[in-house]
Amino acid sequence: CRHEKCSSCRWRSCRLFCAISLAELGSENKIIILEAGKKTLRKVKVSGGGRCNITHDCFDPKLLSTRYPQGQKELIGRFFKWKPKDMIH
């Protein structure tokens, strides 16, 4: 088993979920999250109401656009042009 050291500043949701995934997989590595703000990931909530990441395993553009009520009209055309499947793979 290799022990690696990895650190990341400016935690965003992707880095936090990476750390969570490592912990859930039973990583023997020590995982430390340093946050300068008073509340962890406060800026993520502000940046999209929890909908800032538009990649998802729903590949039907019409159905997927209903998950983004604040930008449904703007996103539906883009979901047909650039499908989530293309962004994931």
CA distance 79 to 85: 10
Is residue 9 located within the same domain as residue 33? yes
Reference 83, options 67, 69, 62; nearest CA is: 62
Is residue 9 located within the same domain as residue 23? yes
**pLDDT of the chain along its 89 residues, tens only?**
455 666 655 556 677 777 788 888 887 777 777 777 777 766 666 555 545 555 567 788 888 888 777 778 888 888 888 877 776 65
* pLDDT (0 to 100) of residue 1: 46
Is residue 8 located within the same domain as residue 37? yes
> Using CA of residue 24, residue 26, residue 27, residue 30, what is the dihedral sign?
positive
Is residue 42 located within the same domain as residue 2? yes
Is residue 66 located within the same domain as residue 43? no
CA distance 56 to 81: 15
Range of the domain at 33: 1-48
Is residue 59 located within the same domain as residue 36? no
